[in-house]
Structures are given as C-alpha cells and as structure tokens.
Amino acid sequence: MANDQDPPRRRFLKAGVAAGAALGAGSVAHAATKAQFKQPIDPMLVVEPFFGEHQAGIVTPQQSHTYVASLDLTTDKREEVIGLLKEWTDAAARMSRGDTAKPLPADDKAAPDSGDILGLGAAGLTITFGFGPGLFTHEGKDRYGLEKRRPAALVDLPRFNGDQLLPQKTGGDILIQACANDAQVAFHAVRQLARMGYGIVAMRWAQAGFLSGPRGQTPRNLMGFKDGTNNPSTAKPALMNQFVWANAPDAPWMNGGTYTVVRRIRITLEHWDTMERGFQEQVMGREKYSGAPIGKKNEFDALDLDAADKDGNQVIPENSHVRLSNQATNNGAQILRRSYSYNDGTDFYIERWPPWRQETEYDAGLIFVAHQSDPRTGFVPINERLAKFDMMNQFTTHVGSAVFACPPGVRPGSFIGAGLFEA
Ligand code: HEM
C-alpha cells in the first residue's frame, strides 16, 4: 500500500540515495549520477534512517515484508522498562544500518546476535515501537507511575459487530513492527529485541506479512485488488499533520507520534475465489484489473459517490467497501493504511457466512495496520460502519486486534518514548 504517495521516480531517488549511504558517504554523489538512475536499485542495500522527527516505518514507502510483534511487560520496575527502551533504541539504530543488534565479541563467548543477517544488508529495515494500554495500567495497577500520562486517544477499542477476536492474537503492552525488503531481516530484528527483553517482556503474539507489487505501483492484496490507492498522500505534510501525527494537548509527549491500530483479518479465500469478478467489484466499489472506481478508467480517478446509472442506481454500491470507508461517508475522517497480507498455512475453520463450509481452509488474509492522529475520529467510527454494513464482511473475519501509541521519532543520544518518562 501507499506506493501511490511516492511517485516511482521519487522512490527510486530515495532508494538510490539510501543505497549510496549504505556504501559510504562517497557513494552518495555516485548514486545521484544519471547512469545510476538506469540501474535497478538492490532492495537489500536500501537504508532507511532510524533517527528523525517521526519514527521510521509509518510514512516510509512499504517494504516487501513485515514482522509485527506484540509483547507484554512482565516487570514491575519502571527503571527496567526505561533501561530496555534505551537498549532497544541503540540496537534498532544499529540494525537499521544493516549491522548486528550489538557488536559481536572477538572471542567465542555467546554472541549477542543470532547472526543470520550477516552479509545481507539493511534491506530497508524500519523498526517502529508502540505502547499499548497495559503500559499505563495493568489489571487496575499503575505499575510504572504512568497512569496519568495515558493519552485519551489511546482508547480501548470497542467490540465491533462480527468480531471474533482470539485472545492469543489480541492486545499487548508493546508493539515492535519491523518492515524490510527481506523476511529474514524483519524477523531477525524482532528476535534480537525480544531476546534483550527476557525477564522484562514476554511475547504475546506475532505475525509475519508480505506484500508484492510491480515497482512504483500499488500492490494487490490476496483478494486480487489494488490496496492503498486512496490513502492520504504521505508526500503532503499538511495531510499527515491533520490525519496521522498526534498533536493533542493532553499528551504532548506524543506530538509527532501516531496511534496505530492492528487487526488480523482472516479472509475466506476459498469462498471469495468462487465469486464472479463483477460481484467482487461491486463488493469493493472498484474495478479489479485497473483499480479504478467502478465506471471510471484509471486507478487514481476521483471516487464519485454521487454517480448514478441511467436507471438512477448508484454506480458505487451502497454497501461497497470504498463507499463506506471513504472520508465523505465518515465526516472527513482519513487513516493511513499500511497493511500486509499474511498466509499462515491452513486450519479447520467454520465459515460464518453461507455456504458455512466446515473444512480445512487457508488461514490467510490481511494484517491491517492503520496510523492516525486519533482512533476516536479515525479507525473506530470507520470500522463501526464497515463492521455493520460492508459487503466484504461475507468474506472477512477480524480475529486479532490491538492499539498502540507510537511515540515520535528519536534524536541521537535519546531513546524511544523518552518524553513519556520525563518528570
Ligand atoms: C481484509 C480486509 C480489507 C481489505 C481486503 C481491504 C481492501 C481495500 C481495498 C481493495 C480498497 C480500495 C483501494 C484503496 O483505496 O486502497 C480499500 C479502501 C479502503 N479501506 Fe479497506 N480493506 C480491508 C479492511 C479495511 C478496514 C478494517 C478499514 C478501516 C476500518 C479499511 C479502510 C479503508 C479505507 C479508508 C479505504 C479508502 C476508501 C476511499 O476513500 O476510497 N479497510 N480497502
């Protein structure tokens, strides 16, 4: 998703410069030469900056893989949480450069890094951290003296119509989302960070995801539709300030951060695959091959919700996914979707819509990730509407859910979430 915000040439330039940075300062100039533009950029050499105003991995053009992990805090000691966040910051900065999480010892002592990324390159790795409600209060207890600092926007998500949330895929005190152009690089990052937290955090759930699309074009999800077309443009700071970056007076430590909703949405692909294309397009409100709104030619043609056919029927159906989720239907609300597909093999499943098959089916779907300045005006009202009326619900079931406050980016010398812990 989100490729449309970064036109192909810009992405290419960015990747070129990043690749140059990976090779050393001298290569940056070389990366900008005309000859270089003709060369395909090796996605394994891309380096995304870790430090900055915002955390990486939020408006970063999507890499091809993700590993999303949610951890629970098991310590009662505030100092241990701070210590771990400091350690994580250093390790995340190193790994984002393509390095091991910690320097490898010269002797044969137990290495502080599994080493499975040695020689691979940074692969565009980004590591995004978030704080769940449990950091602020846990079973009524204020473990770290942070209860009063919980932002109002970090809501406990309500139960939505049709939710079938599995406790083992829901919630969590800390989010670590690694994204990279390589599955091993993404998993490696989370694995090293989780290891550093033994005794302080415990893994609650994790989900690997992937995304494929021709370079510079909107990728398709497993339903075969282009996904990410009508995202707010990350190239427009005014839109990002309005819809993505937090800026509420009750939690100034979150300014420049964002609130992230993660939903594991299972799709009954077996059922979907038997539907005619025309029906699939009615469900989505867009044409499958071009990605254009129904009745339009091109993917980025404007969605005209008032368009009617010669009999006066709405061209974009009443209960189609895009009509119900569009900002015009939701008081102008927009969210930045940055989802990945997932595919976890098969298991026994009972479909919740006709034909109500009971059989072994793919456990596959969408690991939906949406960033917003406030879920109370973003994900919650949009999903309330979708959960009730979306035609797509015949094929989808939300089985996992979590919400996190992702603090702003880190300055060198500081650590992730430092503002929260300041007196
Ligand atoms: C399996 C689940 C889902 C799938 C396969 C899916 C797929 C799609 C596709 C194909 C589009 C049209 C292209 C685009 O603009 O990106 C779209 C649009 C959109 N979706 Fe979803 N989606 C899913 C779940 C959700 C959920 C849970 C939400 C939010 C609560 C959501 C919010 C949106 C929004 C805001 C748009 C843009 C609508 C517009 O303004 O045109 N989607 N989605």
Q: How long a stretch of residues is the chain?
A: 423
What is the position in ligand 1's atom list of the atom closest to the CA of 265? 1
Contact 73, 134 (CB under 8 A): yes
Q: Is residue 300 part of a domain?
A: yes
pLDDT at 89 over 50: yes
Residue 142 lies in a domain: yes
Give pLDDT, residue 282.
98
Residue 2 and residue 336 in contact, taking contact as beta carbons nearer than 8 Å: yes
Q: Distance (Å, rounded) from C-alpha 3 to C-alpha 219?
A: 8
390 lines ligand 1 (CB under 6 A): no
- Residue 252 in any domain: the answer is yes
Structural contact between residues 253 and 388, judged by C-beta atoms closer than 8 angstroms: no
Which residue type, as a one-letter code, is found at position 70? S
Q: Is the pLDDT of residue 3 over 50?
A: no
Whether 397 is in a domain gets the answer: yes
Answer whether residue 25 shows pLDDT above 50.
no
Range of the domain at 59: 43-103+116-421
Mean pLDDT of 116-144: 97
Give, for ligand 1, the residue of 267, 327, 368 to mutate: max count of ligand atoms closer than 8 Å to Cβ. 368
Q: Please indicate whether residue 321, judged by its CB atom, sits closer than 6 Å to ligand 1.
A: yes
Q: What is the pLDDT of residue 37?
A: 53
Predicted confidence (pLDDT) per residue in 193-237, tens digit: 999 999 999 999 999 999 999 988 999 999 999 999 999 999 999
For the beta carbon of residue 160, count every other beta carbon within 10 angstroms.
18
Q: Kindly give the number of the ligand 1 atom that is closest to the alpha carbon of 334.
A: 35
192 in contact with ligand 1, CB cutoff 6 A:
no
Ligand 1 atom nearest the C-alpha of 225 is 10
Q: Which amino acid appears at position 154 of this protein? A: L
**Any ligand 1 atom below 6 A from CB of 286:** yes
**Would the CA dihedral through 183, 186, 188, 191 be positive or negative?**
negative
**283 found inside a domain:** yes
Q: How many CB atoms lie within 10 A of CB 331?
A: 9
How far, in Å, CA of 377 to CA of 375, rounded? 5
Ligand 1 touching residue 395 (CB < 6 A):
no
pLDDT at residue 40, as a whole number: 66
Ligand 1 binding pocket includes 268 (Cβ within 6 Å): no
- Taking the CA of residue 291 as reference, the ligand 1 atom at the shortest distance is 13
Binding residues, by number, are: 286, 321, 337
**398 Cα: distance to centroid of ligand 1 (angstroms):** 14
- The average confidence (pLDDT) of the chain is 92
Tell me what pLDDT residue 109 has.
84
Task: Report whether residue 373 contacts ligand 1, using a CB cutoff of 6 Å.
Answer: no
CA of 325 to the centre of ligand 1 (A): 7
pLDDT band at 291 (very low <50, low <70, confident <90, very high): very high
Question: Ligand 1: which of 321, 334, 383, 393 to mutate, most ligand atoms within 8 Å of CB?
Answer: 321
- Residue 412 domain flag: yes
Cα separation, 184 vs 64, whole angstroms? 11
Distance between CA atoms of residues 280 and 321, nearest Å: 11
Q: Is 342 in the pocket of ligand 1 (CB under 6 A)?
A: no
Residues 6+ apart with CB under 8 A from 36: 16, 30
Which residues 6+ apart lie within 8 Å of 247 measured at CB? 241, 255, 256, 373
Residue 26 lies in a domain: no
The closest of 293, 268, 288 to 278, measured between CA atoms, is: 288
Looking from the CA of 117 toward its CB, the CA atoms found within 13 Å total 30
How confident is residue 377, by pLDDT bands cut at 50, 70 and 90? very high
Instruction: State which H helix or E strand residue 364 sits in.
Output: strand 358-372
339: its two tokens: 């989802």
Q: Which of 421, 416, 373, 399 is nearest to 154 (CA)?
A: 373
253 C-beta closer than 6 A to ligand 1? no
Distance CA 261, CA 405 (A): 9
Helix (H, G, I), strand (E, B) or coil at 416: coil
Does 392 fall in a domain?
A: yes
- Tell me the pLDDT tens digit for each residue of 306-354: 999 999 999 999 999 999 999 999 999 999 999 999 999 999 999 999 9
Question: Could you tell me the distance, in angstroms and rounded to a whole number, from the CA of residue 231 to the centre of ligand 1?
Answer: 9
Instruction: Report CA Rg, the chain.
Output: 22
Q: Could you please report the per-residue DSSP string of 110-166?
A: PPSS--TTTTT--TT-EEEEEE-GGGT-BTTB-TTS-GGG--TTSPPPPPPTT----
Q: How many domains does the chain have?
A: 1
Name the pTM for this structure. Answer: 0.92
pLDDT at position 24 over 70: no
Q: At what angle do helices 78-96 and 183-196 cross, to 10 degrees?
A: 150
DSSP-based three-state secondary structure for 327 = helix
Residue numbers belonging to the annotated binding site for protoporphyrin IX? 286
68 CA distance to ligand 1 centroid (A)?
20
303 alpha carbon – ligand 1 mean position (Å):
13
